[in-house]
Amino acid sequence: MCLIVFSYRQHPDYPLVLIANRDEYHQRAAASADFWGDHPQILAGRDLEGMGTWLGVTDAGRFAAVTNFREGIAEPGELSRGHLTANFLKGSQTATQYLDELNAGKSSYSGFNLLFGDIHGLYYFSNRSAESFRLQPGLHSLSNHLLNSPWPKAEHAKQQLQLHLASANLESEALIGILQRRETFPDELLPNTGLSLEQERTLSPPFIVTPEYGTRCTTLLLWHKSETVEFIEQSYLADGTPAERKSFQLSARPPA
């Protein structure tokens, strides 16, 4: 997952409105979103190499999503970052208890950013930051740097989401469209993450298309105040052409 933009407690009917693009090598096998056979409470896509996920929810109201931290050439971690999300979705520990687990095991992973919690409390943790914290209500973005780093694609996506939040009726197609921009940004706006300038250009738009690597899917979460969740995943072919679309609705209620 390489770009997430979300509104947390900014809309009167939807405490969480989240749109995310997953960017990955096309050769890395993955299953599209569904309820997992071995953990049927989890609704998520699945990385078939690490057997984790980039983003998922549960019928108990748990949520988690992860992005990689871009830092040029780095040594791979011992564990797949998809376990960070899957372990929280599978578990029953509180978010603060999970923070303790993350602190203890953070060195086992390559650089990451993790969002997790439930509709009553979302948390952010990165093993490339000294801070972890409970999120405040607001409009947030997360790409391949720290939360709300002002990368141009993240700022562009937040601006577009802000426009849509003014409407009482949120349209899923329009929200998915927020992350469809393929035009690169000017060089002077690009971050310096240890890659070549040409690579920074290629990775600069919200939607990435290259023969080897690119945007594999867009996920939309509309989490209603009634604790029902609309979950839509739009997948893409390697050339960016829309492929399978899957839609789900579930009741996501934390245990009493």
How is residue 130 written in tokens?
A: 């000294």
Is there a domain that residue 256 lies in? no
Q: Which of 34, 30, 14, 5 is nearest to 233 (CA)?
A: 34
Query: What pLDDT score does 75 carry?
Result: 75
Residue 191 belongs to some domain of the structure: yes
Residue 41: partners with Cβ closer than 8 Å, 6 or more residues away: 35, 58, 59, 60, 89
Domain count, the chain: 1
Nearest to 125 by CA among 139, 109, 112: 112
The residue type at 81: R
Domain at 186, CATH number: 3.60.60.10
CB-based contact 223:119 (threshold 8 Å): yes
Q: What pLDDT is recorded for position 15?
A: 96
- The rounded distance, in Å, linking the Cα atoms of 111 and 214 is 19
**pLDDT per residue over 99-121, tens digit each?**
999 999 999 999 999 999 998 89
Q: Give CA–CA dist 202/44, Å, rounded.
A: 28
Let me know: does 21 contact 234? Beta carbons within 8 Å.
no
CA distance 5 to 15: 14
The number of angstroms, rounded, from the C-alpha of 97 to the middle of its chain's C-alpha atoms is 22
Indicate whether 182 belongs to any domain.
yes
Which 3 state secondary structure label does DSSP give 15?
coil
Range of the domain at 36: 3-251
pLDDT under 70 in the chain at which residues? 1, 256
Q: What angle do CA 114, 120, 124 make, to 5 degrees?
A: 20
Residues 116-130 as b/e (b if ≥16 CB within 10 A, e otherwise) read bbbbeebbbbbbeee
C-alpha to C-alpha distance for 36 and 58, rounded to whole angstroms: 10
Tokens matching residue 231: 């979950």
Note the pLDDT tens digit of each residue in 32-71: 999 999 999 999 999 999 999 999 999 999 999 999 999 9
Would you state the pLDDT for residue 74? 72
Dihedral class, residue 148 (left if φ above 0, else alpha if ψ from -120 to 50, else beta): left
Q: Does a structural domain hold residue 11? A: yes
Closest CA to 3 of 150, 192, 146, 153: 153
